[in-house]
């Protein structure tokens, strides 16, 4: 997107640069060569030398950016009203005084994207006094907050998780036993619930396993992040993932192409080149203003030629780097199996391409490749490695996948501890310390065993 905007800006600011493929025939090259024979050595600047430089033939002044655009894929997300705009809209529907609405708007402005008000009302009161000159007591703000807490999505405006869940459970039918029991657990046994100390809850409330399970199931239906409604398909902010590269298998060979859908062909506007030729033929009669105009045009053509070459160099660097990644991870690009990913760091590709590590890092950042197995971020292919008992070098991604599979298949009433996961990995030939297991588990966003425990 940044590149597309940069090209658009250059096209707008430089009249000598334009979109299109340069179909200049050989006659123009011959004409420029003839012009060079008439060159005079005492010119203030060598115009013909610039126009007729044999080192810069016309084909150098264009960039061909064709790709298999019919393979182009986008992942669209629909647009919609933002979370905070929803709250402001609902505030406008309530029968409130102008003062109350202004206080409500100020409170809404302090609600974060998760839907929580994480600032004390006393601090908000002080802000209003010092920045807006409005005196508002905590009690008054509390009343406005309770109005906001009645908005959709339910649970918005809570000051902590417990209040958020209680707002939601209170909105349900309390005549239903599991819901009433869930409300009691959240109100009086919240700490035990968050720590999954279910036995303590069951004992203190004298519950059967079935009663406890039904009430916990009701709590688990609640939304801990009401502001996350931004993730609802109706409220998503629009953005696209456009793959930068396309990798196909053709007759058993991996074929790489650059997706240049948003990078147009660029060329020098020949009218400006012809203007310079005309000037060269009549330079003796040129006025000062004409000379200044030609100098300006020459500078713009120099800038356009540099820009086209820079785009071409960028594409070559991207293709060169991506080709090195494909060759390094060839087995993955043929099978799509994560276990076939080799350990690979930025330095590995830098050594293969003879490019600086910072260049490889820039190429890998925010770039995507489309394969027969889906669209992947280039960062996906980079990972550290370790040796198995047999001395084989494996990617940490392979180990993380095994960890994820173990957790997915575990008995949720007795989840696997980090110690047990470590022993399983050792049995499979991966000698990993328990602290390393814990690190990988955290990177996978898997909670500790105690928090993964579920009721039957």
The answer to whether 312 and 22 have CB atoms below 8 angstroms apart is no
pLDDT of residue 284: 64
Residue-level pLDDT at 15: 84
Identify the pLDDT of residue 147.
93
Do β-strands 393-395 and 385-387 pair in parallel, antiparallel, or remain unpaired? antiparallel
Quick one: how far is CA 358 from the chain centroid?
20
Beta-strand pair 266-268/253-258: unpaired
Q: For residues 307 and 10, is the Cβ–Cβ distance under 8 A?
A: yes
- pLDDT tens for the chain, 456 residues: list them: 677 788 888 888 888 888 877 655 444 444 544 444 444 333 333 444 444 444 434 333 344 444 444 444 444 433 456 788 889 989 988 888 999 999 999 999 899 888 999 889 999 998 888 877 889 899 999 999 999 999 988 899 999 999 999 999 998 888 899 999 999 999 999 998 888 888 898 899 998 888 888 899 899 888 888 887 544 444 444 445 778 899 998 888 999 998 876 677 888 888 887 777 777 666 666 677 777 777 888 888 888 889 889 888 988 999 999 999 999 999 999 998 887 888 888 889 999 999 998 888 888 887 899 998 888 989 888 877 676 766 666 778 788 888 999 999 998 888 999 999 999 988 888 888 888 888 888 888 888 888 888 775
Q: Where are the domains of the chain?
A: 1-75+240-383, 83-231, 385-452
Structure confidence at residue 71 (pLDDT): 45
Token pair belonging to 121: 């009302």
pTM for the whole structure: 0.48
pLDDT at 157: 92
Architecture of domain 385-452: Orthogonal Bundle (1.10)
Query: How many Å apart are CA 454 and CA 414, to the nearest integer?
Result: 8
Task: Check residue 397 and give its pLDDT.
Answer: 79
Alpha-carbon distances, residue 321 vs 317, 353, 372 (angstroms): 6, 7, 20
**Residues near 248 by beta carbon (within 8 Å), at least 6 away in sequence:** 68, 71, 254, 255, 257, 372
> What's the longest Cα–Cα distance across the chain?
107
Q: Are strands 62-63 and 374-377 parallel, antiparallel or unpaired?
A: unpaired
Coil, strand or helix: which one is 38? coil
Query: Tell me, what's the pLDDT at 167?
Result: 93
CB 157 within 8 A of CB 151: yes
The neighbouring-strand residues paired with 368 are 377
Which is it for the CA torsion 32, 36, 40, 45, positive or negative? positive
| Helix then strand then coil, % of the chain, to nearest 5 | 55, 10, 35
Long-range contacts, 54-60 (Cβ 8 Å, 24+):
56/305, 57/29, 58/22, 58/24, 58/28, 58/29, 59/22, 59/24, 60/305, 60/309
Please, which residues have CB within 8 angstroms of residue 246's CB and are 6 or more apart in sequence? Answer: 67, 68, 71, 256, 257, 258, 259, 369, 370
DSSP code of 117? B
């Amino acid at each position: 997107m940044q590149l597309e905007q940069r090209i658009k800006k250059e096209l707008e600011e430089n009249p000598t640069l334009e979109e299109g493929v340069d179909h200049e025939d050989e006659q123009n090259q011959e004409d420029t060569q003839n012009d060079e024979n008439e060159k005079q050595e005492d010119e203030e600047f060598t115009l013909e030398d610039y126009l007729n430089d044999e080192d810069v033939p016309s084909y150098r002044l264009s960039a061909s950016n064709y790709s298999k655009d019919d393979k182009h894929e986008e992942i669209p997300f629909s647009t919609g009203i933002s979370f905070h705009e929803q709250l402001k809209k609902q505030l406008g529907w309530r029968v409130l005084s102008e003062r109350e609405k202004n206080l409500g708007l100020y409170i809404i402005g302090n609600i974060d994207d998760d839907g929580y008000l994480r600032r004390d009302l006393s601090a908000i009161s002080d802000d209003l006094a010092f920045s807006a000159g409005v005196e508002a007591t905590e009690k008054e703000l509390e009343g406005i907050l309770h109005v906001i807490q009645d908005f959709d999505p339910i649970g918005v405006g809570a000051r902590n998780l417990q209040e958020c869940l209680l707002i939601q459970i209170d909105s349900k039918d309390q005549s239903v036993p599991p819901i009433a029991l869930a409300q009691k657990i959240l109100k009086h046994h919240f700490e035990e619930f968050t720590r999954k100390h279910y036995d303590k809850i069951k004992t203190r409330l004298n519950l059967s396993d079935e009663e406890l399970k039904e009430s916990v199931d009701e709590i688990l239906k609640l939304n801990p992040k009401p502001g996350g409604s931004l993730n609802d398909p109706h409220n998503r902010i629009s953005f696209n993932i456009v793959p930068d590269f396309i990798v196909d298998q053709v007759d058993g060979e991996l074929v790489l192409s650059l997706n240049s859908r948003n990078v147009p062909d660029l060329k020098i506007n020949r009218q400006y080149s012809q203007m310079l030729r005309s000037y060269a033929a009549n330079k003796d009669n040129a006025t000062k203003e004409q000379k200044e105009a030609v100098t300006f045009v020459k500078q713009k053509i120099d800038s356009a030629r540099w820009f086209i070459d820079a785009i071409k160099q960028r594409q070559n660097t991207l293709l060169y780097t991506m080709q090195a990644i494909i060759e390094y991870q060839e087995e993955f690009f043929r099978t799509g199996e994560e276990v076939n990913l080799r350990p690979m760091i930025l330095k590995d590709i830098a050594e293969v391409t003879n490019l600086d590590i910072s260049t490889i890092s820039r190429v890998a950042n925010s770039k995507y490749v489309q394969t027969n197995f889906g669209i992947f971020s280039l960062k996906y292919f980079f990972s550290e490695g370790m040796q198995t008992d047999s001395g084989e070098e494996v990617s940490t991604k392979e180990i993380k996948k095994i960890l994820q599979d173990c957790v997915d298949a575990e008995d949720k009433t007795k989840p696997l501890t980090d110690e047990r996961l470590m022993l399983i990995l050792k049995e499979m030939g991966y000698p990993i310390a328990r602290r390393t297991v814990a690190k990988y588990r955290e990177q996978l966003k898997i909670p500790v065993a105690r928090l993964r425990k579920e009721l039957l």
